[in-house]
Structure 1
Amino acid sequence: MQIPKILHVSFLLATLFLLEGCAAQSTLIEDEVKTVNIENLKYYLYYPEEYEADTEKDFGLLLFLHGGGESGGEIEEIKKNGPPKLLVEGKQFPFLVLAPQNPHKRKWWNTGAVVKLLDSVVETNRVSKKRIYLTGLSRGGSAAWELSTQYPDKFAAMAVVCGMAPLPYAHWIDKDMPIWVFHGDRDKVISVEESDRMVAKLKEMNYDIKYTRYKGVGHNSWSRAYTNDSLYIWFNQQKRD
């Protein structure tokens, strides 16, 4: 009759050991690892005609972020739309234009890498840090909203064309930065409601914001937005205090 008691004690001890092992495994262990994010960014950089003529003057700079269709291929792809397309066609801008390429066909922009590139170009050229402008279309427009929240003191003005606009971003954007939003009301890729809601929220919070809502236009609203000379005149008028 003693055997069952011995077996019971052995089972109890085994259960205690098992519980002790689980407790040890669930302990929070503090540790730290240093990561390095390396990104290979190809880019175009445009200098206005005046840049070489007036060597004492600091110029503004427009950072342009393209859409998903120009990602991951040859850098020539980014000449298809936006300011790079206009430059190929012979348009002149009063400021530098920096146009990097997203190297990943199916990934979002690496905004940290973009800012490192931007800072490097600013430091090695005669660029006024008070006159750095930001614009992007579609996936690049979404990245522009993200950059405006992560680096709220960097940009003097921002124009977003048909980009996704997470509403909580509104609370992180610098109120001193003027914003111009463009979107087509027939956009089936990124709904115009993304911009509708963001613009309404920013107006409610008394931001300096303009909204151009194209009637009957689909996702390709950038073909109208970037051929609007008023946009570049507006950019060139902006300066951070």
Structure 2
Amino acid sequence: MVFFTLLLLLLLNCIVARELFNHTIDDMLGDELTGFQVDYSPASQPSNGSELVWKNASHCNDCAIVPDHSLAMNGTWTGVTYYPSLGNTTARLAFHGSAIYVYLIISNYPKSTGFVSDAICDFRMDGEVVGSYSHETDGSYHVQYDVLAYSNASLSDEDHTLLIETTGTEPSYIIFDYAVYTYVVGMVARFHTDYLKEHAVLCPATKPVHTTSLVYFK
């Protein structure tokens, strides 16, 4: 009887907890946890293989709209000017987690300048369109930073692929800055009694879950 009482106490003292951790996927630096990079597609213009489609600050000597890199996450950003002739453009992020938040930089140049400043895109999670974002320029020339364009806090805690996708008939200027995802780590809290210490009885621990089998393009 004493043995079963002690066993019950042991089971009650092995409390499985879940901790949530946030990590950043930067537009240029990639996932701060895994090192995986964002995959941008297409890489070059169909009519000119040497002309990049997605450009960051280092590529933008001749770009019409250039955000202030000092106001962007980690001082970096990557943007694309979409025209229907491109068919579609995507930024592909792979992560293991239960939530994700995507942040864009938004420009507001007047339409009279002839520069594309509207932002239109869809978000495709694991092959399915799960959201969209649309911003029409207000003509103020004001550039907005840390704009939350998409969030999803109800994902299953597993591997996911998210596409930031632009397609259709309307021109669009998408500037990806960073995304933040949440992943769960299982932990065991042990409350050791003198008996447990004396007899070296330990609770089984769960392994942290933060790996991913998806390879990219924090």
Fold shared per TM-score above 0.5: no
Structure in which a larger fraction of residues adopt helix: 1
Identify which of structures 1 and 2 has the higher relative contact order when contacts are C-alpha pairs closer than 8 Å and 6+ apart: 2
Larger radius of gyration: 1
Output the TM-score relative to the length of structure 1. 0.27
Output the TM-score relative to the length of structure 2. 0.29
